[in-house]
Amino acid sequence: MQIDVEYGEKTIVLTPKIPTIDAIIADTFKKNILEMLDKKNKIIVLDMSNVKFIDSRGLGSLIYLLKNVHQDQKLVLCSIDENVYNIIKLTKFDKIFSIYSSKSAALQA
């Protein structure tokens, strides 16, 4: 699985290069993301711009990531496709995650 990584002084931006986060890929997705994190990354931005579909296992992997980042870290989502956002909103995950319209907005927050 390809995930583009951009490091800042205290930030990391992770951009999965996959069109779906579903039952087939969810476990690999969360494992790969967690392996890339370091305690010095205070803000973790998950750029979802390439993801066009997410199922319940994909949503579960996002919750898993949220629960498994260090206490002094913050996981935020950005650049979410409209269809994926509708699923996130329907499941009320928009109340759990900080969501930004763009990567730059997420980094400025």
Q: What is the pLDDT of residues 94-104, one digit of tens each?
A: 999 999 999 99
Distance of alpha carbon 3 from the chain centroid: 11
Residue 34's pLDDT is: 92
Residue 48's pLDDT is: 98
Residue spans of the domains in the chain: they are 3-108
Band of residue 92 on the pLDDT scale cut at 50, 70, 90 = very high
Answer whether 64's CB lies under 8 Å from 30's CB.
yes
The rounded distance, in Å, linking the Cα atoms of 55 and 25 is 11
What residues have CB less than 8 Å from 2, skipping those under 6 apart?
Answer: 16, 17, 18
Average model confidence (pLDDT) across the chain: 95
pLDDT digits 0-9 by tens, 49-74: 999 999 999 999 999 999 999 889 99
Residue 77 has pLDDT above 90, yes or no: yes
Residue 40 has pLDDT above 90, yes or no: no
Band of residue 24 on the pLDDT scale cut at 50, 70, 90 = very high
Residue 39 has pLDDT above 90, yes or no: no
Do the strands 98-100 and 43-47 form a parallel or antiparallel pair, or are they unpaired?
Answer: unpaired
Tell me, which fold does domain 3-108 have in CATH?
Transcription Regulator spoIIAA (3.30.750)
Residue 81's pLDDT is: 97
